[in-house]
Each structure stands twice: as structure tokens, then as C-alpha cells.
């Protein structure tokens, strides 16, 4: 039923009382929040919901907990800063399930995060079928991450890496001086190796392919490491002379072959980017011994239901549950063989029954949360943040903790409305077990199920940070300042339904055929150009595979636009490299007289929620390019001209103008023994980032540091006459980011904020048309109000002659698109086909589509 919780319906054992919270933008907030309830924190993006739920409540719970553990153990936690708050009482211990982009280690997998792999190994160890004569193996022997289990040939990686002449010397027409040996370390170190070869008399100025094989082999593969005198900067002839004269060398250099360097760096470096760099010079093939299964032969010889443990780890959890189900009753499974065997080994049957029952119970929760298409072996870096959070949530549901507060960040992210019901069930189970749930959420279906709402706002940033309402949902109806209420109560505004707009006609079609990747098999899809399309479907149906992988790969290749260098997540990268490449093609022949193929697409842009930069050196003003204009204005002032300061002087990344003490960062790192390092404002510039001389120059009475401290709104008013600065600022205001400060560092921005900054930057460039914009769940992290603003901007792009294709779950947004492609019908192998494609009102009628009923409800 759609009824909201009313006064007098709440049961609680008491309240968490917050007094004087001032974290980030919170305005000295005092609020009482019930325990043992599903509490949803709402408000526009940037209003301060996370600052209250995570930055204050969770951070304080963690701080109290950590006070009780040893300093050594404390270091193992990702510690939150101590929150700015006067007092909190009634606060139980807290567990945070946050959306993390990038995950601990590449070797963590669905099986390890859920701990299901541990139980499965126990099952194989204790209840597996052993070949005659083989002794029993411990559970660890079934893990590729232990010495007992790992295949000795590939150390448990499943692949073997080799450095070959071809992989290390990609272009053999180059000479050594021209860096034929691409695998050599970069910069100085590489030159050093070349100079050593010069001393040793090797020819570094002949194309690689014309060198004798003996020399090539020695240079690439030798295990010798001779140390010789090096004369830096001398030509080969001069070097010969110098050696003859026994001149004092620049230094003694030690040679090491390219293979040695590559393999050693790969095996030992701690830096993910180094590892990625050298991996490029290796070829990997499936391990011939374990055939990619990563385990010792002894372990692979043990079977359960006729399968080795790797085979089981690779099947979708759904199938695994089916496989184990027959054993839950009496541990015997099905079939006459199995029955007689169980009769002969009753103890084994008991063990099998126990472990199978436990595994099945835990699998059920995962299946309920819509994760049945995942396999245990799937590595966590390949999961979306939403999938990972639900995986961790499912693990908690079975953990039988009670009296805990779970703090969750948009658990509905990545969930089709059909899957949201199951999510609500999982939350209800945690609550029924005696826990409290504090959830930051934008999805109206979740907010409607809340026992209690804390609405934060009214606006974002400085304009927000107040608690507008804290109470049972029905009471929010009367809070006029709240943006949330307009979406929650249908009768208050028609906002829950997409505004009617005449559907646009496609200007052409981009047809893809023969698509094979993940769960898509020889699929054919047509994307309309010049309109806005949404790709929908239950989670795991193949939307991201189709849009973020296949479409982006194929169009990128056709445009000669290499896939943008992905930011390196620590350790994550290598696992991704092994993913199978896309099979498929763009269909170029014209049909229906329309312009087909790539003719309507001149450029492709992905607008995602990845951070815009990882260092405080990148910020809103630098990323959007508007800071260049601001610096020019400062350089043009009479003061600056008199002192001969150019625009570079006003960059905190350039030595002449910045504060030298902190190198322009504005803060310095303070190392604390046993605790994570903390940042403190720079004592010299007090956080201004510039030196005193630079700060003496003013534009309209403000110095450059004061300008960086302005919000976008203030700066827009301040620079109103300066078109080149005011225009980008205006676009930022239009995407709802007027509250951000110009100097706000990239590291302090949320994913939703980063996404809108990228979009604003794009909007300034738009106008030419012919650009394909690809977005994956653009409304994640956005309040409905912000989602509406985003749609307005995207519509502007389409009206200017561009194409927008997005993966999306919010039906209000889907209903506002011109075209919908519904993928499914189910997840994993039960999905991967186009169930329906057409205008929203047509797809809403498709009988086989699980999206249809929800879409229908959103169409007015
Ligand atoms: P919400 O969760 O409602 O989207 P947040 O609590 O994340 O909002 O942010 C509230 C305000 O605090 C925003 O203006 C945001 O830019 C700012 N903010 C968030 N994180 C930080 C941080 N680490 N340092 C400084 N400001 C921050
Ligand atoms: P959606 O975006 O609709 O949620 P995905 O495209 O992410 O679905 O997934 C479709 C199927 O492909 C699922 O069975 C999923 O497990 C699988 N899959 C997705 N990404 C990978 C990957 N990197 N490696 C292996 N399987 C993957
Ligand atoms: Zn192996
Ligand atoms: Zn400084």
C-alpha cells in the first residue's frame, strides 16, 4: 500500500540525540532520531545528509569504538575525521555500508567478501569426493591465495606472464637510442641502460631489427648484471676514447636485462601504475598446468556433485543454490548413487547437510537482493558500487548482530524498481533482528517505506545544512521549505510524473550487430541518434555491458578515440585486463533511407561519476578552465603589470606565485605515530596557498585566494561583466552547483557533483552537434529535484543536435526520454536480449518486460 507512516505508529526503544552538529555545512544541528527504526535521510544533493549520517553519526560511533582498541589495531581502520559536534547520546555501535568506488584488493571476490568461499572450501575439504588413496586436504588447500592451494606454475594467478622480444620491442624499426626497447624504465633510468650499452660497445644507432640476434637476445634476456664505467652525454666514439684514456667516468652503472626489469618490477612493485606499465610489455597466457583454475592438481581432483571447486565458483549463485538444495534435507543429494554413498558414510552426510543448509540460507539472501547472476569467483573491482554494497548488506543480514546502527548510502543505487522490494525486505530483516537503519536515499519507493524521515536542506552547501523535518513521513506534508515533500505527496505537485514533451524524431540510427560479451550473445541493437534514450532492465540484465562497454568500445574504435585511460585503482587494474574483448560491429549500410552508421556521430563523451581528480591540486575552477580566465584578469590589473606578473604567477601550481612552505597546497601533512596522517592548514600562508607578494594584487578589491574562496553564485555576481568567466559560472549554477566554492578541491566532491561539473564543462562546448553522450545511471546520488535539473540540461544537449544514451532505473527519468531499450528479461544468462524498444508509452505496454509496469505508473 502507498500509505505513509503516521503519528503514533512508531515503536522505538529510545532516541539518538544529536546536539550542535557542525560537520561540513551543517548549521549547528540538533535532532533526535529513533532507534530500531528505518530512518531515511533526504534532501537535495549537497544539502548535508551524508555529513549528518556518515560524517557525524557514523564517525562518532567509530571514534568511540576505536578508543577501546589498541593503537596498533586502529591503524587497520579507515578512520573518519573526528566529527564537529557538541554531544551525541543514545548512540549504538555503528556499521557503515558505504558505496566505495575502488575496492581493497584485486584478489577480493564475491566469494571472499560474502565469506561463502570459506564455507565452500570447508565443504570440499570435509565432504568432497576424494580419489582413492588421496589424504584429506585442509580447507586452505582449496584457496588460490594460500601457499597450500596455489598452483605452483602460476602462483595462483591462473595465467602465466612472459616477456618476449615482440612484447618488449613493439617497433623494431627504431634504434636503441630511439627507445626501441620500450619496456625499459622511463626517463633517466632508461638512458642509463643505453649509456651502459654504449660503454660495452653495443650499437645503439642501428635499427633494432638489423642488430645481430646474439646482441638482441643478450640485451633483452641476459641474467648477467655487469657493472661498467659510464660517460654520460658522450657519443659512442668519445666514449671509446675516454675508455682508452681511462678517464674518470660520470658513475659506475649496472646493467640489467629488459626481461629481468619487467618481471622483477611486476612481481615486487607496490605501485599499481608501475605494475600496469610493465604489464604492457608482457604477454599472458592461460596457465598450462591448472588451465586457469589457479589451484594445485591435488585440490582440483576433489569433486562435489561431480564438479571441482573452481567450476562451482564460476557458476551463477542461482545455479549454485539449485545445486546445493537437494543436500539441505539429509545431506545425500539426489540419485541412487548418491543415496547409497550417503548410507555408507553417514558422518559425511551430516557434514554435507550442515554446510549445504548454511550456504543455501546465505545464498537466498543474495538471490533476494537480485545478485543471483554473480559468481563467487567474480572479482570485486568489476562490480558496480551498488552491487558491492548489496553484497555486503546481504552478508550483514546473516551476521546475527543486533543493537547496531547500519548506516547506508543509497542502497537502491543500481537497482531496478522490481529489485527494490527485495532490498526493503532485507532492511526489514535487519530491523526485526533489533537493529537501527540510517539510510541516505533518493529513491521515492524507499523513502515511502521509512518509519521516520530526516529531511535536510533546504538547498545545498551554504544554503542547506539545516534539519527541516524529523518525524514520521506523513508529517513532512506540511513542511513548506522541503523539496522532498513535493515529490513524496502526489497531490502536492505533479512532479512525480515526467513533464509532457513532444517526443523527438531520430535523425538516424546507430546499429550494432554481432555483439558478444558477458551475457550478450550475438545481439543486435539499434540506437536512435539525435534523441534521448534510456536503457533499462533488472540489475544484471546486461545494460552496462551493452552501453558502458560495447557501445563505448565500438564507437570509440570507429572514431579512433582510444578508450580514455582509466584511472588506476590500486591493484584493481590487472584483473580487469583479463576481461574478454568486445566482439561486434557497427552496421554501416543504410536502411529505411535514414542516415545510418557513424555518420551522425563525430565525437563521443562519457559523463560519469568518477572523481574529476585525485589531488587537491585539481579543483572546480581549474577543471572547468574558468580559472585560466580569472588569472588573466588578475595579470591585466595595473598592480600586476607594474610588478610584471603574468597569468602564471596566479597559479598555485607554479613556483613563482605560490607559498613555498606548502608548495601551494594550503596545508601540510602532519605524521602521527600510530594514527593516520592528518592535514593541517599551512602555518605560513594560513591556507591561502599563495605568497604574500601575489596576494597583494587585487581585482575589484579581492585577491586571488579570496576569489577561490567564493561560491559559484557569489563569483557569478562578482564577475558579471567578465563574459569569459561569467558564462561558465552561469552554466554551473544551472546544473545546481551554485553553492560550491571555486577552490573546492576535487577530493571533496561527491560523485554526483563531479558528474555535474563534467556536464557543465561539456555544456559550454556544446552547440556543434554530432556528439554522443553516454551516461551510466546519471541520477545516482541525485534528489528528484536535481534529477529534473539534470534532465533539463541533457535535453538542451539533445536540442542542440546531440545524442544522449543513458542506463537508468528511475522511472520518472525514463518516462521523460524519447526512446527506451529494455534489456532482459532476467539477469545474467536469463537476460541479455532486447525485450522491448520504442517510445516510453510503447515499452510500457510490452508484456514480457519487467520494466513495463513501473514505467506505466510513471507515465501520466
Ligand atoms: P549530501 O549527502 O546531502 O549530498 P554532503 O553531506 O555530502 O551532502 O555535503 C554537504 C556539503 O558539504 C556540500 O556543500 C559538500 O560540497 C560539502 N562537503 C562534503 N564533503 C566535504 C569535505 N570532505 N570537505 C569539505 N566540504 C565537504
Ligand atoms: P546491468 O548493467 O544490467 O546490471 P551488467 O552488464 O553489469 O548488468 O551484467 C550483465 C552480466 O554480465 C551479469 O551476469 C554480470 O555478472 C556479467 N558481467 C558484467 N561485468 C562483468 C565482468 N567484468 N566480468 C565478468 N562478468 C561480468
Ligand atoms: Zn596454474
Ligand atoms: Zn602555505
Shared domain check, 119 and 93: no
Rounded distance between C-alpha atoms, residue 817 and residue 225, angstroms: 64
- Please, which pLDDT band fits residue 501 given cuts at 50, 70 and 90? low
Could you list which residues have their CB under 5 Å from ion ligand 4? 659, 661-662, 682, 684-685
pLDDT at 2: 62
Residue 373 in domain: no
Q: Which of 96-105, 229-238, 643-652 has the lowest mean pLDDT?
A: 96-105
Rounded distance between C-alpha atoms, residue 540 and residue 814, angstroms: 18
Cβ-defined contacts of 784-788 (< 8 Å, 24+): 784/442, 784/444, 784/483, 784/484, 784/487, 784/495, 784/812, 785/44, 785/483, 785/486, 785/487, 786/44, 786/45, 786/736, 786/752, 787/442, 787/812, 787/813, 788/495
Shared domain check, 588 and 670: no
Q: Which atom of ligand 1 is nearest to the CA of 461?
A: 14
Structure confidence by residue, pLDDT tens digits, 236-274: 999 999 999 999 999 999 999 999 999 999 888 877 778
Last residue in a domain, options 465, 494, 523: 494
Does pLDDT of 713 surpass 60? yes
pLDDT at 273: 79
Decide: 24 in ligand 1 pocket, CB within 6 A: yes
Decide: 771 in ligand 2 pocket, CB within 6 A: no
3-state secondary structure of 500: coil
User: What is the CATH classification number for the domain harbouring 712?
Assistant: 1.20.1580.10
Asked if residues 287 and 310 have their Cβ atoms less than 8 Å apart, the reply is no
| Count of structural domains, the chain | 5
Phi and psi (nearest 5°) for 527?
Answer: -100, 125
Q: What separation in angstroms does the CA of 197 have from each of 204, 246, 259, 494?
A: 8, 17, 16, 76
Residue 847 in domain: yes
Nine-digit cell string for 641: 603589470
What is the number of H-type helices and E-type strands within the chain?
35, 27
Residue 213 in domain: yes
Residue 427 in domain: yes
Last residue in a domain, options 346, 368, 390: 368
Nine-digit cell string for 38: 528505518
- For a mutational test of ligand 2's pocket, the pick from 106, 519, 575, 582, i.e. the residue with the most ligand atoms closer than 8 A to its C-beta, is 519
Q: Which atom of ligand 1 is nearest to the CA of 739?
A: 14
| Residues 6 or more apart in contact with residue 44 via CB below 8 angstroms | 457, 458, 459, 460, 464, 483, 736, 783, 785, 786
Shared domain check, 323 and 229: no
Instruction: Tell me what the mean pLDDT of segment 279-305 comes to.
Output: 93
Q: What separation in angstroms does the CA of 415 have from each of 64, 227, 423, 740?
A: 34, 61, 9, 29
Decide: 518 in ligand 2 pocket, CB within 6 A: yes
Shared domain check, 228 and 204: yes
Rounded distance between C-alpha atoms, residue 848 and residue 538, angstroms: 13
Shared domain check, 572 and 455: no
pLDDT at 608: 79
Rg (CA), the chain: 30
Shared domain check, 825 and 778: yes
What end-to-end distance do the CA atoms of the chain give, in Å? 20
3-state secondary structure of 373: coil
- Please, which pLDDT band fits residue 767 given cuts at 50, 70 and 90? low
Asked if residues 676 and 664 have their Cβ atoms less than 8 Å apart, the reply is no
Instruction: Tell me what the mean pLDDT of segment 470-492 comes to.
Output: 91
pTM comes to 0.80
Instruction: Tell me what the mean pLDDT of segment 592-610 comes to.
Output: 76
Phi and psi (nearest 5°) for 681?
Answer: -55, 145
| Residues 6 or more apart in contact with residue 819 via CB below 8 angstroms | 506, 528, 531, 532, 533, 534, 837, 838, 839
Nearest CA to ligand 1 atom 22: 748
Residue 850 in domain: yes
DSSP 711: B
User: What is the CATH classification number for the domain harbouring 279?
Assistant: 1.10.8.280
Nearest CA to ligand 2 atom 14: 828
Q: Which residue has the higher pLDDT, 78 or 232?
A: 232
Last residue in a domain, options 243, 261, 286: 286
List the Cα angle 483/489/490 in 5-degree steps: 115
| Residues 6 or more apart in contact with residue 772 via CB below 8 angstroms | 510, 529, 555, 601, 603, 604, 605, 802, 803, 805
Shared domain check, 272 and 178: yes
Which residue is it, cell 563534467? 758
ipTM score? 0.94
List the Cα angle 784/462/652 in 5-degree steps: 110
Nine-digit cell string for 751: 560523485
Decide: 45 in ligand 1 pocket, CB within 6 A: yes
Asked if residues 583 and 522 have their Cβ atoms less than 8 Å apart, the reply is no
pLDDT at 102: 40
Phi and psi (nearest 5°) for 653?
Answer: -100, 0
Structure confidence by residue, pLDDT tens digits, 311-346: 999 999 999 999 999 999 887 777 777 777 777 778
Rounded distance between C-alpha atoms, residue 761 and residue 626, angstroms: 10
Nine-digit cell string for 140: 586452505
What percent of the chain lies above the pLDDT cut of 90? 58
| Residues 6 or more apart in contact with residue 316 via CB below 8 angstroms | 372, 373, 374, 375, 828, 829
Rounded distance between C-alpha atoms, residue 745 and residue 612, angstroms: 10
Q: Quick one: angle between helices 317-330 and 346-368, nearest 10?
A: 140
Q: Which of 438-452, 500-514, 592-606 has the lowest mean pLDDT?
A: 592-606
566 Cα: distance to centroid of ligand 2 (angstroms): 18
Residue 753 in domain: no
Asked if residues 775 and 603 have their Cβ atoms less than 8 Å apart, the reply is no
Which residue is it, cell 578541491? 745
Does pLDDT of 565 surpass 60? no
Decide: 25 in ligand 1 pocket, CB within 6 A: yes
Shared domain check, 266 and 316: no
Rounded distance between C-alpha atoms, residue 420 and residue 422, angstroms: 5
Shared domain check, 276 and 165: yes
- Please, which pLDDT band fits residue 677 given cuts at 50, 70 and 90? low
Nine-digit cell string for 628: 585560466
Shared domain check, 702 and 684: yes
Rounded distance between C-alpha atoms, residue 715 and residue 633, angstroms: 13
Residue 455 in domain: yes
pLDDT at 566: 41
Instruction: Tell me what the mean pLDDT of segment 164-185 comes to.
Output: 93
Closest CA to 134 of 300, 262, 18, 273: 300
Q: Which of 174-178, 622-626, 750-754, 844-848 has the lowest mean pLDDT?
A: 750-754
- If phi > 0 it is left, if psi is from -120 to 50 it is alpha, else beta; for residue 592 that is left
Instruction: Tell me what the mean pLDDT of segment 615-632 comes to.
Output: 89
pLDDT at 390: 84
Residue 6 in domain: no
Q: Which atom of ligand 1 is nearest to the CA of 55?
A: 6
pLDDT at 828: 87
Which residue is it, cell 536502411? 591
Asked if residues 635 and 646 have their Cβ atoms less than 8 Å apart, the reply is yes
Decide: 43 in ligand 1 pocket, CB within 6 A: yes
Does pLDDT of 34 surpass 60? yes
Domain extent, residue 252, equals 161-286
- For a mutational test of ligand 2's pocket, the pick from 518, 537, 827, 849, i.e. the residue with the most ligand atoms closer than 8 A to its C-beta, is 518
pLDDT at 377: 93
Rounded distance between C-alpha atoms, residue 262 and residue 266, angstroms: 6
Q: Which residue has the higher pLDDT, 580 or 355?
A: 355
Q: Which residue has the higher pLDDT, 501 or 494?
A: 501
Rounded distance between C-alpha atoms, residue 596 and residue 416, angstroms: 31
Does pLDDT of 582 surpass 80? no
Q: What is the mean pLDDT of the chain?
A: 87
Rounded distance between C-alpha atoms, residue 88 and residue 35, angstroms: 13
Shared domain check, 119 and 97: no
Report CA 153 to chain centroid distance, whole Å: 33
Does pLDDT of 357 surpass 60? yes
Decide: 720 in ligand 2 pocket, CB within 6 A: no
| Residues 6 or more apart in contact with residue 327 via CB below 8 angstroms | 333, 352, 353, 356
Q: Which atom of ligand 2 is nearest to the CA of 384?
A: 7
Decide: 457 in ligand 1 pocket, CB within 6 A: no
Shared domain check, 689 and 630: yes
Q: Estimate the share of the chain in helix, then strand, then coil, as percent rounded to the nearest 5.
A: 40, 20, 45
User: What is the CATH classification number for the domain harbouring 834?
Assistant: 3.40.50.300
Amino acid at each position: 500500500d502507498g500509505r505513509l507512516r503516521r503519528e503514533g505508529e512508531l515503536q522505538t526503544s529510545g532516541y539518538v540525540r544529536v546536539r550542535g552538529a557542525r560537520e561540513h555545512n551543517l548549521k549547528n544541528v540538533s535532532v533526535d532520531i529513533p532507534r530500531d527504526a528505518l530512518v531515511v535521510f533526504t534532501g537535495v544533493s549537497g544539502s548535508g545528509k551524508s555529513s549528518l549520517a556518515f560524517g557525524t553519526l557514523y564517525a562518532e560511533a567509530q571514534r568511540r569504538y576505536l578508543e577501546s582498541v589498541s593503537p596498533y589495531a586502529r591503524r587497520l581502520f579507515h578512520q573518519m575525521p573526528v566529527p564537529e559536534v557538541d554531544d551525541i547520546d543514545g548512540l549504538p555501535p555503528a556499521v557503515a555500508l558505504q558505496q566505495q568506488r575502488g575496492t581493497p584488493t584485486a584478489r577480493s571476490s564475491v566469494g571472499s567478501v560474502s565469506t561463502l568461499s570459506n564455507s565452500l572450501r570447508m565443504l570440499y575439504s570435509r565432504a568432497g569426493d576424494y580419489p582413492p588413496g588421496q589424504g584429506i586436504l585442509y580447507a586452505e588447500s582449496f584457496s588460490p591465495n594460500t601457499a597450500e592451494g596455489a598452483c605452483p606454475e602460476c602462483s595462483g594467478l591462473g595465467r602465466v606472464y612472459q616477456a618476449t622480444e615482440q612484447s618488449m620491442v613493439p617497433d623494431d624499426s627504431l634504434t636503441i637510442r630511439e627507445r626501441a626497447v620500450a619496456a625499459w624504465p622511463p626517463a633517466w633510468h632508461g638512458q642509463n641502460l643505453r649509456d651502459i650499452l654504449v660503454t660495452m660497445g653495443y650499437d645503439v644507432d642501428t635499427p633494432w631489427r638489423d642488430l645481430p640476434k646474439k646482441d638482441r637476445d643478450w640485451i633483452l634476456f641476459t641474467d648477467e648484471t655487469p657493472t661498467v664505467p659510464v660517460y654520460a652525454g658522450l657519443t659512442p666514439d668519445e666514449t671509446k676514447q675516454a675508455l682508452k684514456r681511462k678517464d674518470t667516468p660520470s658513475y659506475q652503472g649496472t646493467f640489467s636485462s629488459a626481461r629481468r626489469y619487467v618481471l622483477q618490477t611486476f612481481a615486487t612493485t607496490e605501485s599499481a601504475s608501475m605494475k600496469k606499465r610493465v604489464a604492457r610489455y608482457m604477454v599472458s597466457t592461460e596457465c598450462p598446468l591448472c588451465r586457469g583454475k589457479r589451484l594445485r592438481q591435488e585440490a582440483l581432483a576433489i569433486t562435489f556433485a561431480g564438479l571441482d571447486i573452481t567450476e562451482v565458483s564460476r557458476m551463477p549463485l542461482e545455479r549454485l543454490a539449485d545445486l546445493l538444495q537437494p543436500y539441505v534435507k539429509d545431506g545425500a543429494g539426489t540419485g541412487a548413487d548418491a543415496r547409497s554413498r550417503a548410507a555408507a558414510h553417514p558422518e559425511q552426510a551430516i557434514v554435507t547437510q550442515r554446510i549445504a543448509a548454511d550456504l543455501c540460507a546465505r545464498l537466498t539472501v543474495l538471490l533476494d537482493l537480485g545478485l543471483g547472476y554473480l559468481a563467487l569467483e567474480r572479482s570485486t573491482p568489476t562490480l558496480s558500487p551498488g552491487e558491492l554494497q548489496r553484497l555486503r548488506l546481504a552478508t550483514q543480514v546473516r551476521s546475527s548482530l543486533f543493537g547496531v546502527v547500519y548506516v547506508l548510502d543509497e542502497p537502491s543505487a543500481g537497482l531496478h524498481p522490481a529489485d527494490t522490494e527485495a532490498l526493503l525486505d532485507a532492511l526489514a530483516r535487519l530491523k526485526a533482528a533489533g537493529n537501527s537503519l540510517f539510510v541516505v536515499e533518493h529513491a521515492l519507493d524507499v523513502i515511502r517505506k521509512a518509519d521516520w524521515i530526516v529531511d535536510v536542506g533546504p538547498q545545498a552547501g551554504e544554503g542547506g545544512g539545516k534539519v527541516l523535518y524529523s518525524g514520521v513521513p506523513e508529517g513532512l506534508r506540511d513542511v513548506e521549505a522541503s523539496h522532498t515533500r513535493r515529490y513524496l505527496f502526489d497531490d502536492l505537485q505533479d512532479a512525480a510524473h515526467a513533464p509532457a514533451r513532444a517526443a523527438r524524431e531520430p535523425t538516424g540510427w546507430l546499429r550494432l550487430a554481432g555483439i558478444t560479451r558477458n551475457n550478450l550473445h550475438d545481439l543486435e541493437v539499434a540506437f536512435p541518434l539525435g534523441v534521448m534514450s534510456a536503457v533499462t532492465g533488472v540489475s544484471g540484465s546486461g545494460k552496462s555491458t551493452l552501453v558502458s562497454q560495447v557501445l563505448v568500445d565500438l564507437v570509440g574504435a570507429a572514431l579512433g578515440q582510444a578508450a580514455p585511460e582509466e584511472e588506476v585503482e590500486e591493484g584493481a587494474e590487472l584483473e580487469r585486463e583479463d576481461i574478454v574483448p568486445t566482439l561486434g560491429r557497427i552496421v554501416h549500410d543504410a536502411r529505411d533511407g535514414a542516415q545510418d552508421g557513424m555518420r551522425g556521430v563525430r565525437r563521443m563523451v562519457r559523463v560519469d561519476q568518477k572523481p574529476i581528480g585525485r589531488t587537491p591540486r585539481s579543483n572546480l575552477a581549474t577543471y572547468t578552465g574558468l580559472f585560466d580566465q580569472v588569472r588573466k584578469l588578475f595579470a591585466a590589473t595595473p598592480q600586476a603589470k607594474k610588478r610584471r606578473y603574468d597569468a602564471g604567477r596566479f597559479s598555485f601550481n607554479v613556483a613563482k606565485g605560490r607559498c613555498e612552505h606548502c608548495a601551494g597546497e594550503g596545508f601540510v601533512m602532519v605524521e602521527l605515530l600510530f594514527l593516520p596522517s592528518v592535514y593541517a592548514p599551512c602555518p605560513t600562508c594560513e591556507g591561502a596557498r599563495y605568497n604574500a607578494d601575489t596576494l597583494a594584487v587585487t581585482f575589484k578589491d579581492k585577491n586571488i585566494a579570496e576569489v577561490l574562496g567564493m561560491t559559484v553564485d557569489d563569483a557569478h555576481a562578482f564577475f558579471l561583466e567578465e563574459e569569459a568567466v561569467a558564462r561558465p559560472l552561469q552554466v554551473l549554477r544551472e546544473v545546481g552547483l551554485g553553492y560550491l566554492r571555486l577552490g573546492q578541491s576535487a577530493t571533496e566532491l561527491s560523485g554526483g557533483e563531479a558528474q555535474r561539473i563534467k556536464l557543465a564543462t561539456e555544456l559550454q562546448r556544446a552547440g556543434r552537434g554530432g556528439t554522443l553522450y553516454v551516461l551510466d545511471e546519471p541520477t545516482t546520488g541525485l534528489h528528484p529535484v536535481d534529477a529534473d535539473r539534470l534532465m533539463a540540461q541533457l535535453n538542451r544537449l539533445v536540442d542542440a543536435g546531440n545524442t544522449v544514451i543513458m542506463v537508468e532505473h528511475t522511472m520518472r527519468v525514463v518516462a521523460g526520454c524519447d526512446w527506451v531499450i529494455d534489456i532482459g528479461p532476467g539477469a545474467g544468462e536469463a537476460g541479455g536480449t532486447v525485450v522491448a524498444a520504442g517510445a516510453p508509452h510503447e515499452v510500457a505496454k510490452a508484456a514480457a518486460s519487467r520494466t513495463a509496469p513501473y514505467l506505466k505508473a510513471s507515465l501520466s
